[in-house]
Amino acid sequence: MISTWTENPTLTRVTDHLKQAIDDKYLADMAARCFLNTIETTVRWEEGELPYVLTGDIPAMWLRDSSAQLEPYVRFTNTDEFLQRLIHGIILRQAAYIVEDPYANAFNQTPSGQHGFPHDETKMGPWVYERKFEIDSLAHPIRLWWMYVHRTGKVDVLDGLPRQAVVRTLDVLEGEQEHDAFSAYRFQRPHSAPTDTLLRDGLGPVSRPTGMIWSGFRPSDDATTYPYLVPAEMFLAVALDIIVEWAMTVWHDDDIRRRAQHLQSDILTGLVEYSLQETPRYGKIWAYEVDGLGHALLMDDANIPSLLSLPFLNFCSVDHPVYQNTRGFVLSRDNPYYYQGRALSGVGSAHTEVGHAWPLAVIMEALTEPSQGKVWDMVRMLARADGGAGLMHESVHVDHPNEYTRPWFSWANSMFAELILRVLGYDPVIRAPIVSSQWG
Has residue 2 got a pLDDT over 50? no
Residues 6+ apart with CB under 8 A from 377: none
Cα–Cα distance between 138 and 173 in angstroms, integer? 9
Tell me the C-alpha distance between 336 and 145, whole Å.
34
As a whole number, mean pLDDT of residues 242-259 equals 98
Burial class (CB in 10 A: 0-12, 13-18, 19+), 405: middle
pLDDT tens digits, 98-130: 999 999 999 999 999 999 999 999 999 999 999
Q: What pLDDT, on the 0 to 100 scale, is given for residue 171?
A: 98
CA proximity to 304, closest of 199, 219, 236: 219
Indicate if the pLDDT at residue 5 is higher than 70.
no
Report the distance separating Cα 189 and Cα 194, nearest Å. 9
Query: DSSP H helical segments within 176-320, as ranges?
Result: 179-182, 199-202, 230-246, 254-274
Report, as an integer, the average pLDDT of 403-417: 97
CA distance 22 to 37: 19
Q: In sequence order, which residues have a C-beta less than 8 Å from that of residue 12 and are 6 or more positions away?
A: 5, 6
Provide the pLDDT confidence category of residue 205 given band limits of 50, 70 and 90.
confident
Contact 15, 32 (CB under 8 A): yes
Exposed / middle / buried, residue 214 (Cβ in 10 Å: 0-12, 13-18, 19+):
buried
* pLDDT score of 297: 98
pLDDT band at 47 (very low <50, low <70, confident <90, very high): confident
Q: What is the pLDDT of residue 7?
A: 77
- The percentage of the chain sitting over the pLDDT mark of 70, rounded to a whole number, equals 99
Strands of the 106-107 sheet, one edge to the other? 61-62, 106-107, 128-130
Q: What is d(CA 277, CA 312) in angstroms, rounded to the nearest whole number?
A: 22
pLDDT value of residue 1: 47
330-357 mean pLDDT = 97
Cβ–Cβ under 8 Å, residues 309 and 318: no
Number of alpha carbons in the 13 Å side-chain half-sphere of residue 134? 27
Domains in the chain with CATH codes: 5-423 (1.50.10.10)
Which tens digit of pLDDT belongs to each residue from 138-164?
Answer: 999 999 999 999 999 999 999 999 999
Identify whether the C-beta of residue 28 lies closer than 8 Å to the C-beta of residue 19: yes
Q: Is 133 helix (H, G, I), strand (E, B) or coil?
A: coil
**CA distance to 327, 328, 385, per residue, from 331 (Å):** 6, 5, 18
Whether residue 440 has pLDDT greater than 90: no
pLDDT, mean over the chain: 96
CA distance 431 to 433: 7
Could you tell me which residues come within 8 angstroms of residue 111 by beta carbon, excluding any fewer than 6 positions away? 125, 126, 127
Distance CA 274, CA 417 (A): 36
400 CB burial (10 A radius; 0-12, 13-18, 19+): middle
Reported confidence tier of residue 6, pLDDT bands at 50, 70, 90: low
Contacts made by residues 427-431, CB under 8 angstroms, sequence distance 24+: 427/75, 428/75, 429/74, 429/75, 429/147, 429/150, 429/151, 430/314, 431/146, 431/150, 431/242, 431/314
Q: What percent of the chain has pLDDT over 90?
A: 97
Q: Among 169-178, 198-207, 304-313, which is the least confidently predicted range?
A: 198-207
Report the alpha-carbon distance of residue 366 to residue 376 in Å, rounded. 8
Confidence of residue 347 (pLDDT cuts 50, 70, 90): very high
